[in-house]
Structure 1
């Protein structure tokens, strides 16, 4: 299994966590592809990337692009991309290997796609892998996270070309579908891969003062533990928002814009 890990030593606690976790969770040899957005911006023209994105968002997107580059350059047929706050299940290797057998050309299968609101998922063509199930959502917007996914080389090639100069967030699967970068999209439900309770490095807090305050609060031991538990609880609640329907999804039939 070819495993690419979005992690960088600069984010020391997350990097330490994922390195230790991978040692016990998988036999695959990880390839680390993490890029720090602030560092990348210092070495390029700021207008090279979308100017409304935070350095964290740009770094995340470039890290995934870095994974796509290695997949394409290494002529890897199928690969797994995982972020540094993923919690892999004990049967991760066997589950991923079994899913990969069914991966289609140009497809991405997300192993972690929580939803804030209820989303319809098609039962047609559902795939059972041991105790896990894989479904085609009715809409691409249901695919909500880049925490851990399996990707076919053709999708990696298209995303590499499209996002070397960052135009899309790493998890903007709705745009990937609309633009024809992927041919099929599937998700696991319930989630196969969970997320740890780390504070986001993306920079969703808006203004710089709010991001600074958030970092300071997270350094207070009891507040850090409380917020970590709260984040994990809220994230788990989002796993229950898939509504199963019998209609065939366009995401199964195939993207009309994919060429």
Structure 2
């Protein structure tokens, strides 16, 4: 499986940390230079974002553009599946096995994203047993983008729906609600954050009160302006699908 590591050019220590781990696991990879949102001009920000944009901080914009950059590569080269990694990660020794088995489990023609990291909520029902220790579950809620597998059809849908940027990269429920991709998770996770994650580079450190207020207002406006089809889909999901799920929170 193709592996892409999103890394800012100047973040040498982070890149070396990921490379060391991947080499140790005998995994081939490609480093993709991340978009530094702090270096974008006002004109570039206007070009690459929508007027109503929840990803309002430069770091958030850069992070979203970085992941979209990888999606374009996946689509351009018709890559069936790819693992996307950020550079502040810790990899489990079980990762190679998971990457070998996932293409045999997930239909490449069905748009899908599979998180290999810690998640917040999932359906207890096992979709597939990957190994004696790991299983595939339907993902309900998660909020990180440091390690996930995406297929080409989902990458194309994400490009069509999320560019110009209007949402942060890790708002996964948007993928479900906007029919970008089906969401899954491997449990227990095989990718975690490393100590380097405590020092944010791509994303901004903290949010001030004014920014939080702006985000809340933007989210409310985005929610109100959703297409009718999206609103109906969410209502049907809440009424028909969710009641039959045994949702586990963690």
TM-score under structure 2 length normalisation: 0.73
Quote the Cα distance in structure 1 between the aligned partners of 2:99 and 2:86: 16
Quote the Cα distance in structure 1 between the aligned partners of 2:105 and 2:191: 18
Deviations 1:33-72 (A, max 9, x none): 4221122346614364237521111111111101100000
Quote the Cα distance in structure 2 between the aligned partners of 1:110 and 1:72: 19
Q: How far does residue 86 in structure 1 lie from its aligned partner after superposition?
A: 1.6
Which residue of the partner structure matches residue 136 of structure 1?
138
Q: Kindly tell me: are residues 43 and 8 of structure 1, through their superposed partners in 2, closer, same or farther at Cα, counting changes over 3 Å?
A: farther
Q: How far does residue 168 in structure 1 lie from its aligned partner after superposition?
A: 1.5
Deviations 1:168-208 (A, max 9, x none): 111111112111111x2111222111110222231141249
Contact 1:14 1:84 in 2 (8 A): yes
Contact 1:122 1:247 in 2 (8 A): no
Q: Are residue 95 (structure 1) and residue 98 (structure 2) matched?
A: yes
Q: Kindly tell me: are residues 246 and 26 of structure 1, through their superposed partners in 2, closer, same or farther at Cα, counting changes over 3 Å?
A: farther
Quote the Cα distance in structure 2 between the aligned partners of 1:33 and 1:52: 20
3-state DSSP class of the match of 1:59?
Answer: helix
Deviations 1:88-128 (A, max 9, x none): 1123222211112111310111000333xxx3523142433
Which residue of the partner structure matches residue 175 of structure 1?
174
Structure 1: runs of 5+ lacking an equivalent: 209-244, 250-259
Quote the Cα distance in structure 1 between the aligned partners of 2:102 and 2:176: 21
Structure 2: runs of 5+ lacking an equivalent: 210-241
Instruction: Name the count of aligned residue pairs.
Output: 207
Q: Kindly tell me: are residues 52 and 171 of structure 1, through their superposed partners in 2, closer, same or farther at Cα, counting changes over 3 Å?
A: closer
Contact 1:4 1:30 in 2 (8 A): yes
Q: How far does residue 246 in structure 1 lie from its aligned partner after superposition?
A: 11
TM-score under structure 1 length normalisation: 0.71
Q: Kindly tell me: are residues 93 and 46 of structure 1, through their superposed partners in 2, closer, same or farther at Cα, counting changes over 3 Å?
A: same
Q: Kindly tell me: are residues 59 and 65 of structure 1, through their superposed partners in 2, closer, same or farther at Cα, counting changes over 3 Å?
A: same
Question: Following TM superposition, where does structure 1 have runs of at least 4 consecutive aligned residues deviating by more than 6 angstroms?
Answer: none
Quote the Cα distance in structure 2 between the aligned partners of 1:246 and 1:123: 13
Contact 1:124 1:248 in 2 (8 A): no
Quote the Cα distance in structure 1 between the aligned partners of 2:23 and 2:113: 25
3-state DSSP class of the match of 2:195?
Answer: coil
Q: Kindly tell me: are residues 194 and 52 of structure 1, through their superposed partners in 2, closer, same or farther at Cα, counting changes over 3 Å?
A: closer
Deviations 1:120-179 (A, max 9, x none): 523142433242222113x3xx13221111111110001112223211111111112111
Contact 1:3 1:30 in 2 (8 A): yes
Quote the Cα distance in structure 2 between the aligned partners of 1:247 and 1:135: 14
Which residue of the partner structure matches residue 122 of structure 1?
124
Which residue of the partner structure matches residue 203 of structure 1?
204
Quote the Cα distance in structure 2 between the aligned partners of 1:21 and 1:103: 26
Q: Are residue 8 (structure 1) and residue 41 (structure 2) matched?
A: no
